């Protein structure tokens, strides 16, 4: 950065002192009529000084959030129209993806941010970015860069999401996923690979899982809340990872240089725009009948991530196993009780039962605005024999049944 004259430094210091505390009203706080006090970083030199919120801002999938960024510009020779504002997302330690650029009246958003990103425009010096309809992929760190003809300055903002981390492996068994396959598996179950920070937060919240899994940075880790010999030992000098010791911790295999190594995955998902519900047909169904059963209620078979989100964020509690879209059978427990799989809350798994021989109900997911063609608990099936919505019978012969 080009050094500024002493006079400019003095004016910048006065401005920084005046803006020692920035009042930022985020979208989430506005809903509750509150203001959020954000302490900002103070620039030391230069005629362009950028200030962003330290720590992180928090939203959820489908929400609206403001990524705060303000700048001070000593416009002795040039107006604010000559200042370029640029937002990028950090995708790797040395790689960035363009999000939004503004120069005067010309504004442009890029890629998946088109139609969702715009400047807040709260007076001169405000470079804050409003991001609407937040997605799982929006999670991460963003850089706010302000540039004039001679100088620039940057600030960093971290966007975090409310949600839940869940371990995952496919029907083929444990330790079957490369890094790329783990990314795809999480996406198929309505999630993304979790970050190391998200896994550590889940461990602090009680997650205990004795199988190593990929994280989004290419590392392989696993959380242990209850130390035991098969899961990295009982703690002490030999424990690795954050929080290692007698109280457990996140065991860390480090960054795997060979992306073809095979592990499980730790996925992350956030708030659901729709609703997960348990459908108990007149008779339990094999896996082949699950999709038809949900379709009769204007829904689809729920994905694993959707069930975890419904358990964690919508407090879905049901002590009955049901089919999910990947062929597994699971059930969510918010209030632990006898005969419901243990003394801790969580999503219980029965693994991947025989799809043809085992019979269950089904967990369905209905998207927002989708109508229920069978309100009041009615669905479609065969009045006599052969299972409910299962088998190979002609759907044209279905008749209304209580479900």
Q: Distance of CA 138 to CAs 111, 113, 331, 387, Å?
A: 12, 9, 29, 44
CA 138 to CA 89: how far, in whole Å?
9
Output the six-digit token pair for 201.
Answer: 């937060």
Q: What is the mean pLDDT of residues 331-335?
A: 96
pLDDT of residue 80: 57
pLDDT, one tens digit per residue, over 167-186 is: 999 999 999 999 999 999 99
pLDDT computed for residue 30 by the predictor: 36
Q: Across-strand partners of 268? A: 165, 192
The answer for 10, left when phi > 0, alpha when psi is -120 to 50, beta otherwise, is alpha
Q: What is the pLDDT of residues 187-232, one digit of tens each?
A: 999 999 999 999 999 999 999 999 999 999 999 999 998 888 878 7
Q: Which residue has the tokens 């985020």?
A: 26
How crowded is residue 29: how many other Cβ atoms within 10 Å of its Cβ? 13
Q: Binning pLDDT at 50, 70 and 90, where does residue 25 land?
A: very low
Contacts by 304-307, CB closer than 8 A, 24 or more apart: 304/166, 304/168, 304/189, 304/190, 304/191, 304/267, 304/328, 304/330, 305/166, 305/186, 305/189, 305/190, 305/191, 305/267, 305/269, 306/190, 306/269, 306/272, 306/276, 306/365, 307/276, 307/332, 307/347, 307/363
Beta-bridge mates of residue 48: 73
pLDDT, averaged across the chain: 80
> How far is the C-alpha of 364 from the C-alpha of 293, rounded, in Å?
9
User: What is the rounded distance in angstroms from the CA atom of residue 367 to the CA atom of residue 276?
Assistant: 9
pTM, full prediction: 0.78
Return d(Cα 344, Cα 255) in angstroms, integer.
32
Sign of the dihedral defined by the CA atoms of residues 338, 344, 347, 351, in that order: negative
Query: For residue 304, which of 324, 290, 288 has the smallest C-alpha distance?
Result: 324
Q: What percent of the chain has pLDDT over 70?
A: 74
Q: What is the CA radius of gyration of the chain?
A: 26
For the residues 298-317, what does the mean pLDDT come to?
Answer: 96
**Model confidence over 99-157: pLDDT tens digits?**
999 998 899 999 999 999 999 988 888 999 999 999 999 999 999 999 987 778 899 99
């Amino acid at each position: 950065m080009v050094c500024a004259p002493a006079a400019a430094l003095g004016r910048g210091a006065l401005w920084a002192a005046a803006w020692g505390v920035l009042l930022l009203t985020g979208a989430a706080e506005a809903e509750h009529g509150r203001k959020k006090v954000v302490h900002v970083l103070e620039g030391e030199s230069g005629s362009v000084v950028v200030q962003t919120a330290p720590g992180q801002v928090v939203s959820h999938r489908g929400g609206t959030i403001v990524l705060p960024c303000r700048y001070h510009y000593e416009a002795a020779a040039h107006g604010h129209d000559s200042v370029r504002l640029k937002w990028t997302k950090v995708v790797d330690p040395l790689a960035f993806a363009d999000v939004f650029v503004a120069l005067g009246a010309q504004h442009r958003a890029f890629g998946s941010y088109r139609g969702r990103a715009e400047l807040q425009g709260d007076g001169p010096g405000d470079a804050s970015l409003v991001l609407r309809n937040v997605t799982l992929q929006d999670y991460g760190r963003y850089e706010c860069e302000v540039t004039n003809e001679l100088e620039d300055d940057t600030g960093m903002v971290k966007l975090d999401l409310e949600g839940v981390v869940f371990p995952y492996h496919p029907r083929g068994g444990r330790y079957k996923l490369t890094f790329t396959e783990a990314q795809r598996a999480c996406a198929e179950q309505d999630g993304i690979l979790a970050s190391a920070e998200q896994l550590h937060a889940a461990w602090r919240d009680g997650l205990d899982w004795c199988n190593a899994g990929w994280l989004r940075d290419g590392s392989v880790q696993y959380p242990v809340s209850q130390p035991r010999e098969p899961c990295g030992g009982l703690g002490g000098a030999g424990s690795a990872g954050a929080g290692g010791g007698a109280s457990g911790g996140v065991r860390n295999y480090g960054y795997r240089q060979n992306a073809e190594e095979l592990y499980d995955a730790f996925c992350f998902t956030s708030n659901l725009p729709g609703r997960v519900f348990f459908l108990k047909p007149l008779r339990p169904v094999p896996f082949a009948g699950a999709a038809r059963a949900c379709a009769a209620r204007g829904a689809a078979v729920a994905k694993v991530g959707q069930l975890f989100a419904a358990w964690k964020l919508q407090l879905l509690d049901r002590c009955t196993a049901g089919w999910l879209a990947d062929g597994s059978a699971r059930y969510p427990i918010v209030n632990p009780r006898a005969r419901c799989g243990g003394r801790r809350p969580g999503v219980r798994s029965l693994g991947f039962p025989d799809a043809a021989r085992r019979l269950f109900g089904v967990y369905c997911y209905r998207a927002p605005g989708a109508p229920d063609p069978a309100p009041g608990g009615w669905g479609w099936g065969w009045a006599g024999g052969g299972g409910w919505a299962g088998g190979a019978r002609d759907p044209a012969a279905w008749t209304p049944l209580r479900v």
